[in-house]
Amino acid sequence: MALELNKLTARIDEMGQVMAQRQAKHLELSSEARALLKANPAVTEELLAKIELAREQDAWRRGAVPLGEALVEPRTPEGLHTRVTLIAADGSQIFPDSDGISPYYLLNIGSIVLRRGSGQAPTVGSAPEIFFTDKEVYDDANELRTAEYVGIQRQRREIEALADLAEQERRELGGDLSQTILAMTDGPLLPWIRQDMNDSEAMAREIEFTAQQLERLHQARAIPVGYIDNPNSAYVLRLLELIRMKPETINRETLRAYHYQHLTDRAIFDDLQPNERTAVFTVHTDANRRYEALTNDRIAFVYANMARTKNEPVMARLEVPSWVAEDPRELDKAQAAIFANCEPEGYPYVLARAHELAVVSANERARLEEMLLGFMLQSGILPEMSPKARNKLLTGGRQWR
């Protein structure tokens, strides 16, 4: 046994105390933030001016911008369209491993098309791709592709798969627009891009690609939804920070002295009733700014409670393009269908299945590498793992077979 737990006992005890203190502080801050929101439910000219000021002072990254006239505007969709097609795509990957037997990476995209009300089994599929040529696995500096690069390739395929499937579904419906098509991804709609990413052209390419796929979904009259389970975002809290501040005190320093540190927006919206959502916001991020510059559209979001029972909220952030968010009935259709699909409670079935279809287990990876090993030997190549990788196999829990 490598982990000698007896040596950690004292620190674990201390950890428990720190956690209790943190919890108490969070409860206090949550209560304060909820009271502040309750006391300031309207979107005032003053607030909008503060947002502009914050943007000028410090770019004011990751702050929520209200799209309606109120910050507090809970809404529950009425009824549910029985005939709804829910499409979901999710991906998984094997990252390039510099210590492995051969440089390669793998992407696997799982997808599901569930036609609610049809009584039929959904259409499911998975699309694995393996990348191994020099051009595929090495970048321009001849370095092995990073996890971030592979992640971006995965995101591209997920959103593209959604657009492909939505177009196909609309065609199969004979262009019938009465049937709602929902296209869901597990996570944000726009690609996650590091703020410090220095390749501006690469960022632009990814946003442009995503924008194209969202436009394809728009043309297919499908509703794209990015579903973020248990969100850790604090976009609305950043907005509340501005409410607390006087305009003359808003500057780079005060904006970064974050009062609601470590708190998330879940803390202020946990009083939402089952199937109820918040007001609609957009978020001020670099990716959204670039997307808006390209399309004149913005990605908007709401928080919604996906729990079936009261007092046990299961919060999700639903991201949609503005062309969906601007029409509350479209958003109602999407939310109602997602809520109904949260079987078992709390998480959409289609996303769980898309993930299951995509995921590459350790056992599957081992079999793939075993197959690769066999073909290498047949081709007269004696594969050689690095001593580090070999020792990891010997000492770690990972089974080669």
Partner 1 sequence: MSDDKIRLWRVLRSSTTAFSVGCPRPQDTDGESLPEFGALVKVVRANGDIIYGLIHDVRIEDDAFVRQLVAAAVDEPEIIEDQRQKRQVPIEVSVLAVGHGRDLDVYHRLPPQPPGALDDVILCNAAEMVRFSERQDWLRIVLAAPNVSAEQLIGAALRRTALSRPPDQRNAYLVGAGRELARLLADDLVRLDGILRQLRL
- In DSSP notation, 174-213 reads TT-TTSEEEEEEES-SSPP--TT---HHHHHHHHHHHHHH
Task: Output the smallest distance, CB 335 to partner 1, in A.
Answer: 17
Q: Which of 320, 352, 340 is nearest to 82 (CA)?
A: 340
Residue 356 near partner 1 by CB under 8 A: yes
Nearer to partner 1, 14 or 370 (CB): 370
Q: Which one among 50, 92, 115, 169 touches partner 1, defined by CB under 8 A?
A: 115
Nearer to partner 1, 79 or 344 (CB): 344
| Strand-pair category, 222-229 with 180-186 | parallel
Q: CB of 102 within 8 A of CB of 383?
A: yes
Q: Which one among 344, 380, 387, 396 touches partner 1, defined by CB under 8 A?
A: 344
Residue 182 near partner 1 by CB under 8 A: no
Q: CB of 272 within 8 A of CB of 74?
A: yes
One-letter amino acid for residue 321 of the chain:
P
Q: CB of 221 within 8 A of CB of 168?
A: no
Structure tokens at 168: 């196909």
Q: Give residue for tokens 């007269």.
A: 380
Q: CB of 138 within 8 A of CB of 145?
A: yes
Q: How many CB atoms lie within 10 A of CB 62?
A: 16
Task: Output the smallest distance, CB 91 to partner 1, in A.
Answer: 18
- CA-to-CA distance for 266 and 245, rounded, in angstroms? 22
The span of 116-124, 253-261, 372-380, 381-389 binding partner 1 (CB under 8 A) equals 116-124
Q: CB of 76 within 8 A of CB of 310?
A: no
Question: Interface mask (CB under 8 A) for partner 1, residues 121-160, using x and -?
Answer: xx-x------------------------------------
Residue 314 near partner 1 by CB under 8 A: no
Residue 370 near partner 1 by CB under 8 A: no
Q: Which one among 21, 31, 82, 118 touches partner 1, defined by CB under 8 A?
A: 118
Task: Output the smallest distance, CB 316 to partner 1, in A.
Answer: 18
Nearer to partner 1, 66 or 91 (CB): 91
Residue 349 near partner 1 by CB under 8 A: yes
Nearer to partner 1, 59 or 366 (CB): 366
**CA 285 to centroid of chain Cα atoms:** 14
The span of 34-42, 183-191, 286-294, 350-358 binding partner 1 (CB under 8 A) equals 350-358
Residue 380 near partner 1 by CB under 8 A: no
Q: Which of 222, 232, 190, 225 is nearest to 209 (CA)?
A: 190
| Strand-pair category, 180-186 with 84-94 | parallel
Question: Interface mask (CB under 8 A) for partner 1, residues 83-112, using x and -?
Answer: -----------------------------x
Binding site for partner 1 (CB under 8 A): 112, 114-116, 118-122, 124, 343-345, 349, 352-353, 356
